[in-house]
Structure 1
Amino acid sequence: MTDILILTHADFCSPGHLGVVLDRAQREFTVLRVDQGELDDYDLDRPKAVAIMGGPMSVNDPMPWIGQEIDAIRYWVDRDVPMIGHCLGGQLIARALGASVHRMPYTEIGWQPLAKRAQAADNPWLAHLPQEFAIYQWHSDTFELPEGAEGLMGSPWCPNQGFAWGDKVLGLQGHPEMTEDLVRLWLTDWAHLLDETQASQQGRAQMLEDLPAKVTALNQVAEGFYQRWLSLAFA
């Protein structure tokens, strides 16, 4: 086991570009599938940094492992462990901090424009970002802001796209970890979920247009988050 822990919940929601960043930095990491019981015997005192990836399930689904993961997150919050959550991961962190997570009346999918909230412009999690930028989205649930959290950014379809809690916890609604391969995989395996009649969704062709350039820009967004997360753990 290593000091960096990544929690996953589905084989198609991998660490993606986060794994690339860690490999480049020569940081070893452990990946556990929480939905397959791999957190059961894990030493919660071990990690110095935790990343929580996405998944197709809802925080509100009646699965025993969801409660177990929320309890683990609360333990790491109490230990002041740097954490970053992606989509479902951000929702799990929000729930662990006492916030509600609920279904939206539509599904937000595609390269959506995000904007920093004015009051969060100086937050160090956002220091590498312009006022407006894009993050890949695929979600039907959204989180409310936990008490004491700072809302960081929003999109036209989802006002709560990210929050900071204290100085070491970042919850995100989108998917900064996406790679070209992951985007193409999702648009192949999950194409039946797309509905271009919803204004909140981009069409498949639009999502794939100029994909290398879009992913390169997204990598820069992600790397700023990941570098701060690592610096907090290994200063």
Structure 2
Amino acid sequence: MADVLILTHIDYCPPAHLAQVLQARGCSFDVLRVDLGELHGYDLERPKAIAVMGGPMSVNDPLPWIADEVAALQRFIERDIPIIGHCLGGQLLAKALGATIRRMPYTEAGWQRMQRRSKATDSPWLAHLPEAFSIFQWHGDTFALPDGAQPLLSSRWCDNQAFAWGDKVLALQGHPEMTEALIELWLDDWAHLLDASQPSQQSIADMRDDLGGKVRALNQVAEGFYAHWLKLAGL
């Protein structure tokens, strides 16, 4: 078993840039498809750091593996090891910490500008970030803040974009892990799910405009999150 465990839920939401960061650092990692039962039998006492990726399903869907994953996350939280959640992964962390997840009346999609929350000024998770930056978004659910959570980020369309819980848990509503190839895949295969008439969604043309530059900036955002997460794990 590897030092880092990455939980995934569909082929379309791989670790992407996170995997590139781990490979560049020489960190060993396992990638499991929780929806296919691959978490069953895995030694939850072994990993030193956990990443939870996204997926199109809702935490509230009646899928049997969701309860199993929430229970595993609760064990990781008890172990006090660093955990970072991306979109669905952030919602799963919120649920594991006792918060509710609800459907929004719209979908937030595309490059969305983040605002720091007033209580986030001293957060080490944000130490690498400028005052203004964007994260790629694609979600219709949002999490409430668990008891004791520190709100970190918001956007125009989603008040709770990120929270920290304790010193080792980071839940993100967005997708800092994206690469150019993964964004193009989503825009090619999921375009029918978008409605550019909704002000909460960018058009595909706007999402693709200067895509290389936007992804390079996003990579820097992601690498700061991942560097702090790995530092906490001693990796």
**TM-score tier after normalising by the smaller chain length:** over 0.9
Partner in structure 2 of residue 215 of structure 1: 215
Q: Are 1:234 and 2:234 counterparts?
A: yes
Deviation by residue 1:130-189 (Cα, 9 ceiling, x = unmatched): 122100000000000000000001000000000000000000000000000000000001
SS in 2 for 1:146: coil
SS in 2 for 1:56: coil
SS in 1 for 2:71: helix
Partner in structure 2 of residue 116 of structure 1: 116
- Distance, in Å, in 2 between the alignment partners of 1:142 and 1:128 is 25
User: Normalization by structure 1: what TM-score?
Assistant: 0.99
Letter in 2 for 1:191: A
SS in 2 for 1:38: coil
Partner in structure 1 of residue 21 of structure 2: 21
Letter in 2 for 1:119: K
Q: Are 1:148 and 2:148 counterparts?
A: yes
- Distance, in Å, in 2 between the alignment partners of 1:189 and 1:203 is 15
Alignment of 1:1-235 (within 5 A): 1-234=1-234
Deviation by residue 1:102-133 (Cα, 9 ceiling, x = unmatched): 00000000000001112211110000001221
Runs of 4+ aligned structure 1 residues displaced above 6 Å come to: none
Q: Which of 169-178 and 113-122 deviates more?
A: 113-122
Unaligned runs of 5+ in 1: none
- Computed over aligned residues only, the root mean square deviation of the Cα atoms, in angstroms, reads 0.6
- Distance, in Å, in 1 between the alignment partners of 2:75 and 2:119 is 29
Letter in 2 for 1:42: Y
1:3 CA displacement: 1.2
SS in 1 for 2:137: strand
- Distance, in Å, in 2 between the alignment partners of 1:63 and 1:198 is 29
SS in 2 for 1:114: strand
- Distance, in Å, in 1 between the alignment partners of 2:119 and 2:163 is 12
